[in-house]
Structure 1
Amino acid sequence: MCGIVGLFLKDPSLGPDLGRHLTDMLVTMSDRGPDSAGIAVYRGGDDGRVKITVQAADPDAAFAGLDAALSTETGHPVQATRTDTHLILSVPADGSDALRAAIRARPDLRLMSRGDAIEIYKEVGQPRSVADRFDLPRLAGTHGIGHTRMATESAVTTLGAHPFSTGADQCLVHNGSLSNHNDLRRRLARQGVEVETENDTEVAAAYLTHRMNEGASLGEALEAGIRDLDGFYTFVVGTKTGFGVLRDPIACKPAVLAETDQYVAFGSEYRALVSLPGIEAARVWEPEPATVYFWEH
């Protein structure tokens, strides 16, 4: 079933409250997905540094002295900020490739996201529990997306939780099921695209990233997905500067958009949006099937 939320701020004055609003929206969708939950938030990104989010099953052991060790290994100064099982590693942009390679060489670390602005926090557990563990209401930013999962096609694990990020400052959450994800996974593998989990959502994320790496805009990649991705789904996607929504041609999964002068918000159900400021005056509508909606700063 799953629940999806998203909030794209037009008004910068709402930035300090992004995490609080997203948390309220996420927790409201708890009964649509009690297995695991996650959030991607976009903030900063103008300081010439790249952020890489990692997770560890045993963070006390994995994170101890990690910033110093990675600084030595990469030859670049690595800064670290820990929140529960996640660690944000920050490095000057010219050291990002070396840092990614060093992380991948460590089997106790799992890469959650990378980019100038994106941070992803996700774990197994009820949405309220996940929000409390990461203190999600404290997160300021420009936009973000979240997901509450009811696992259907793969195990309940941290890596199986949403959002999925397969490219720099890109992420995706998904409600529904892709019927051709295994075939698409094989096609992507032949083109050198690696998918780490069994989750069909990661395949969709990798597909969009691959399209964009070939030169497509996000809108063009989503349009191509209408043709290539078979199944029933609602996607909400994030980039460094943008926020997009796409439903399949049948549009059998629930979806609601709301827009005011201050923000654009998405929820699997309208009740996820009712606590937002000014929602009573928002333009509220159900997104059309096979139609790409996209907003950008």
Structure 2
Amino acid sequence: MCGIVGLFLKKEDLRPKLGDMLTDMLITMSDRGPDSAGIAIYGDDSDGLKVTVQSDTPESAFDGLDTALSEVLGGPVTMKVIDTHAVLTIPAGSRDAALDALGEKGLRVMGLGEAMEIYKEIGLPKDVAARFGLRGMAGSHGIGHTRMATESAVTTLGAHPFSTAEDQCLVHNGSLSNHNTMRRILTEKGFAPKTENDTEVAACYISSRIAEGANLGEALDGTLADLDGFFTFVMGTKTGFGVVRDPIACKPAVMAETDDYVAFGSEYRAFADLPGIETARIWEPEPATVYFWER
């Protein structure tokens, strides 16, 4: 019984308020999943590639990390440290070398992309949001998740969102019954999941479809044919976000759209306090139907 939120802003002047609005939405969903929480923010494009990493010992792990990585990559690296996470901006073209170096240092990669930053940890949404200063973050869109673990351990890596490709991430409410079969298929394709969480399997599946040439809508549509179980997926990309529910639509979901934004919540109360909600078009996403919005 996890909680999902998503917010896509249509107006540029709302960008400074994205983190504040998403934080309120996520906290409202706390009782749907108290063990961990996470959020993906799509902000301004960087000059290079942003890599979000996590460590349980951030003081020692991040001390001098930018300097050491600059020497390895042969170019400038900047670093922004926020609690247990750090966002490193690395030179274009140095992705693989950077990931190898970060892996050797035992750092966990949460996600990477030109615009996306991911923050997730064990704990209640209000505590996770406060630790990372989510209210002060700006951007064009974002998705969030609060988790009730059912099929895997309560860990930072088991928290959502899951990112398996640049500027792509996924949050999920539900359970997949064929995730072990899909795990083997995806591993053979070079998209091996790193955790036991079935949501990461779904994220790898969508990334594999996009890598094969599908667009976001086609990749989400593919989940209806190839993934068994009950699910609501919300997918973030550099240009927008998409939503799809299984053919039975077992898990709750509701959406709202105004001239200013598109909002998603596992329940209406997630966005009941958004500005202009009283005039919004509000509906429940149809089963087996793909919705997506892009800039």
TM-score (norm 2): 0.99
Point out the more displaced range, 68-77 or 152-161: 68-77
Q: CA-to-partner distance for each residue in 1:76-98, whole Å, 9 max, x for gaps?
A: 21110000000000012122332
Could you give the per-residue CA deviations for residues 43-81 of structure 1, whole angstroms, max 9, x where no partner exists? 011x43110000001111111111001111111211100
Contact 1:74–1:102 (CA<8 Å) still a contact in 2? Answer: no
In the alignment, what sits opposite 1:75? Answer: 74
Letter of the 1:8 counterpart: F
Instruction: Map residues 110-129 of structure 1 onto 2, 5 A cutoff.
Output: 110-129=108-127
Q: What letter corresponds to residue 24 of structure 1 in structure 2?
A: D
Q: Helix, strand or coil for the counterpart of 1:188?
A: helix
Work out whether residues 273 and 279 of structure 1, in 8 Å CA contact, stay in contact via their aligned partners in 2.
Answer: yes
RMSD: 0.7
- Counterparts of residues 1-297 of structure 1 (less than 5 Å): 1-45=1-45, 47-107=46-106, 109-297=107-295
Rounded to whole Å, the distance in 2 between the matches of 1:226 and 1:76 is 44
**Distance across 1 between alignment mates of 2:181 and 2:96:** 30
Q: Distance in 1 between matches of 2:191 and 2:145?
A: 24
Distance 1:189 1:97 in 2: 19
Letter in 2 for 1:164: F
- Alpha-carbon separation, structure 2, partners of 1:192 and 1:243: 24
SS at match of 1:223: helix
Letter in 2 for 1:190: E
Compute the displacement of 1:102 (Å). 1.4
* Letter matched to residue 68 of structure 1: T
What's the CA shift for 1:105?
A: 2.2
SS in 2 for 1:93: coil
| Unaligned 5+ runs, structure 2 | none
Counterparts of 2:219 and 2:142, CA distance in 1:
20
Once residues 265 and 75 of structure 1 are traced to their aligned partners in structure 2, the CA distance between those partners, rounded to angstroms, is 42
TM-score w.r.t. structure 1 length? 0.98
Q: Equivalent pairs: percent with the same residue?
A: 67
- Give the match's secondary structure for 1:94: coil
> 2 CA distance for matches of 1:242 and 1:135?
23
SS at match of 2:218: helix
The amino acid across from 2:214 in the alignment is: A
Q: 2:159 is paired with a residue of what secondary structure?
A: coil
Task: State the 1:106 CA deviation.
Answer: 2.1
1:38 counterpart SS class: strand
What do residues 96-153 of structure 1 show as CA deviations (whole Å, max 9, x unaligned)? 332122112222x000000000000000001110011001000000000000000000
- Aligned residue for 1:291, secondary structure, equals coil
Give secondary structure in 2 for the equivalent of 1:160. coil
How many corresponding residue pairs? 295
Aligned-partner SS, 2:225: helix
In 2, distance between residues paired with 1:84 and 1:138?
Answer: 14
* Deviation of the 1:229 alpha carbon: 0.5
Q: Which runs of 4+ in 1 moved over 3 A?
A: none
* Native 8 Å contact 1:4 1:268 kept in 2: yes
Q: Which amino acid aligns with 1:170?
A: Q
